[in-house]
Amino acid sequence: MLRTSITLVFCALLIGCGDDTKYQAELRGTWLLESRKPSQGEIIQSPQISGLIEWFPTTPTQAKVHLSVTDDRQSIRIIDRLYDLQGTSFTYQSKLRIGSVATDSTDVVYDTTTQNGTGQISSDDARVTLTHDNGTQYEFIGAQLTVTYSNGVVDTWTLNKDQKGVLAK
C-alpha cells in the first residue's frame, strides 16, 4: 500500500513537471531571419535583411525573448519581452521597443513604457502556434519559425542554436 502510494505520488510529480515545460523545448533557442515577405512586393532574403530572435527560458514557464531586425546599416528594430506560458494561454510584457519590427519604417521610435499582452497557444503534432492579441502569430514547426504580423508581413526564421536556459533537457 505504501509503495503504491509513493509510486502514484512520484508519477504525479513527473506528469506535473512535464506539463510545466510543455512548449519551451519547441520555442527556445536562437533563431535567424532567412526572409521577409512584405504584404505587397518582392521577398527580401538574407543578407538584404537580417534578424535574430533569442528565446531564453528563465523558469519552466517563463522566457526572456529578444527580437531584432535590420535591413540597412542605418537602423535596427528591437523588441524585448518576457513571456509567461500557462497551459493554452500566455501573457507577455514588453519594456523596450525601438522602431517597428513588422515594418520597414525608418522612423526612430524609442519606447520604454511597459506594454502587456495576452495570447493563445495551440499545438498539433510538431506545430506550436502562439497567437498574440495584437494579431501577430508565431508558428513553430521543428527548426522553422514563421511569424505573421497583423499587417500581412511574413518572416521566415530557422533555428540556429538551442538555448536550454534553466531547462534540464
- Does residue 4 fall inside a structural domain? no
Domain-embedded: residue 60: yes
Total-model pTM? 0.80
CATH code (residue 114): 2.40.128
pLDDT confidence tier of residue 72, bands split at 50, 70 and 90? confident
Residues contacting residue 28 through CB under 8 Å, at least 6 positions apart: 55, 56, 57, 63, 162, 163, 164, 165, 167
What's the pLDDT tens digit per position in 130-152? 999 999 999 999 999 999 999 99
Listed in sequence order, the residues at least 6 apart from 85 whose beta carbon sits closer than 8 Å to its beta carbon are 22, 23, 24, 61, 62, 63, 121
* Domain hosting residue 30, numbered range: 22-161
pLDDT at 86 over 80: yes
pLDDT tens digits, 16-55: 444 455 678 889 899 999 999 998 889 999 888 999 999 9
167 found inside a domain: no
- If we measure between CA atoms, which residue out of 59, 39, 36, 67 comes closest to residue 155? 36
Region for 17 from its dihedrals, namely left if φ exceeds 0, alpha if ψ lies in -120 to 50, beta otherwise = alpha
Residue 169 lies in a domain: no
Residue 144's alpha-carbon distances to 26, 35, 64, 100, 155, in angstroms, are 10, 12, 19, 23, 11
Count of structural domains within the chain = 1
Q: How far, in Å, CA of 157 to CA of 139, rounded?
A: 10
Residue 93 lies in a domain: yes
Task: Give the DSSP letter of residue 72.
Answer: S
Average pLDDT for 46-69: 92
The C-alpha cell 500566455 sits at 90
Q: In which element (H, E) is residue 158 found?
A: strand 154-161
Q: What is the mean pLDDT of residues 75-102?
A: 88
| Radius of gyration, alpha carbons of the chain | 18
Average pLDDT, the chain: 82
